[in-house]
């Protein structure tokens, strides 16, 4: 299904790719620069750790030649949604930036939880400075997000709307944390259903992505139909994002993701590919996977065995199909909403990019 639609609409994907490149080049630097402005000038050690993590400096505080940092996806989604709903893009920035800061706060704490020593091919904060300091650095970033959000008033947004935006973000953080909890709880559970998985990712990843969209829209309009439509769009898009993340966690190219093929299997993660494989393979194969996952470390032979079972079960195709289905649901949600043509194309392009992304 995925490949078919991909080849049928190849002209569209090509146009869409250019559009995505333009969107990222237009907003990424702006977001990055505004993010840097949120850090106080006093060069405390906490700032050094955070600036390192955000890719602006090395671990000694020296600026990096080629800043490494995330895609700033959440602020960009917020800005695009605001634009699509007819809002003022300049005004939305102090509400868009905290989304990226909170996302990074959660990554810093995730790395501690998962004992991950590398992210974007660089040592994580805890790996360099130890758990206690990494924990504090994460909490500090969370506060910088709050302080940034408090600047929303200065852009002329009415105070009651500021409080609503604040409340959306708070609620999203709560759901994100619940999702992280479920993720940890499900570790090692071999009988996790697709339904439970989708509920978990709707919280862990979906909540902040949906909040990004909702915040952008709420700063643009009070129209209930638009708010509802974009909220649905956000929910489906959040699922798309995590599904492709899970695909990349197994079949992503190391040159693009910085992780070896099968990384999530090596880490015995209970992600979508494992769930879909288990529900589409023989009992014998299920047992093989279960046995491998019960081992202390997973050998190359084990990894290849699971990858073979996944190939037989067409797991990758099933995952891609699911991503495409959710992408279509996302786009259907906003089909009947009046959106300027260019904005709609931007949003559609980003949704397609998230469905097909390689990193």
Question: Could you tell me the smallest distance in angstroms from the CB atom of residue 111 to a second copy?
Answer: 11
Q: Which is nearer to a second copy, 12 or 153 (CB)?
A: 153
Tokens of 7: 């080849």
Tell me the Ramachandran region of residue 193: left when phi exceeds 0, alpha when psi lies from -120 to 50, beta otherwise: beta
User: Tokens 């299904």 map to which residue?
Assistant: 1
Binding-site ranges for a second copy (CB under 8 A): 44-46, 109, 112-114, 131-133, 135-136, 139-140, 142-144, 146-147, 150, 153, 159-160, 162-163, 166-167, 170-171, 173-174, 177-178, 180-181, 184-185
The structure tokens listed for 278 are: 């288990």
Residue 358: count of CB within 10 angstroms of its CB = 13
Nearest to 227 by CA among 155, 149, 168, 163: 168
Smallest distance from a second copy to CB 149, Å: 9
136 vs 261, which CB is nearer to a second copy?
A: 136
Sign of CA dihedral 214, 194, 305, 320: negative
Q: Which CA distances in Å does 39 have to 97, 170, 228?
A: 12, 21, 35
Q: Which is nearer to a second copy, 98 or 262 (CB)?
A: 98
Residue placing its CB nearer to a second copy in the complex, 134 or 309? 134
Instruction: For a second copy, give the closer residue by CB, 144 or 272.
Output: 144
Closest distance to a second copy from the beta carbon of 298 (Å): 21
Min CB(139)–a second copy separation in Å: 5
Residues 6+ apart with CB under 8 A from 235: 202, 206, 210
What's the min distance (Å) between Cβ of 21 and a second copy? 35
């Amino acid at each position: 299904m995925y490949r078919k639609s991909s080849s049928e609409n190849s002209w569209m994907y090509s146009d869409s790719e250019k559009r995505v490149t333009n969107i990222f080049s237009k907003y990424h630097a702006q977001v990055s620069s505004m993010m840097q402005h949120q850090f106080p000038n006093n060069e405390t050690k906490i700032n050094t750790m955070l600036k390192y993590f955000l890719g602006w400096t090395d671990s000694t505080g020296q600026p990096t030649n080629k800043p490494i940092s995330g895609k700033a996806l959440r602020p960009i989604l917020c800005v695009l949604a605001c634009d699509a709903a007819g809002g003022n893009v300049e005004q939305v920035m102090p509400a868009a930036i905290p989304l990226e800061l909170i996302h990074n706060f959660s990554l810093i704490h995730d790395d501690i939880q998962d004992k991950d020593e590398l992210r974007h091919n660089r040592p994580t904060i805890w790996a360099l400075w130890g758990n206690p300091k990494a924990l504090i650095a994460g909490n500090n970033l969370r506060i910088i997000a709050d302080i940034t959000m408090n600047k929303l008033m200065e852009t002329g947004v009415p105070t009651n709307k500021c409080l609503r935006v604040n409340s959306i973000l708070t609620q999203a953080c709560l759901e994100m944390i619940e999702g992280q909890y479920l993720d940890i709880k499900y570790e090692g559970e071999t009988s996790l259903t697709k339904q439970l998985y989708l509920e978990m990712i709707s919280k862990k990843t979906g909540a902040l992505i949906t909040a990004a969209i909702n915040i952008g829209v709420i700063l643009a309009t009070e129209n209930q139909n638009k708010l509802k439509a974009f909220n649905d769009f956000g929910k489906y898009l959040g699922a798309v994002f995590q599904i492709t993340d899970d695909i990349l966690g197994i079949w992503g190219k190391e040159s693009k993701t910085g992780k070896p093929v099968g990384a999530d299997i090596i880490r015995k993660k209970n992600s979508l590919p494992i769930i879909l494989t288990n529900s589409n393979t023989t009992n014998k194969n299920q047992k093989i996977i279960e046995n491998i996952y019960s081992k202390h470390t997973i050998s190359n032979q084990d990894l290849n065995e699971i990858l073979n079972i996944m190939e037989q079960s067409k797991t990758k195709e099933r995952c891609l199909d699911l991503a495409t289905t959710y992408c279509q649901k996302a786009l259907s949600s906003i089909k009947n909403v009046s959106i300027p043509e260019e904005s709609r194309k931007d949003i559609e392009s980003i949704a397609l990019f998230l469905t097909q992304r390689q990193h």
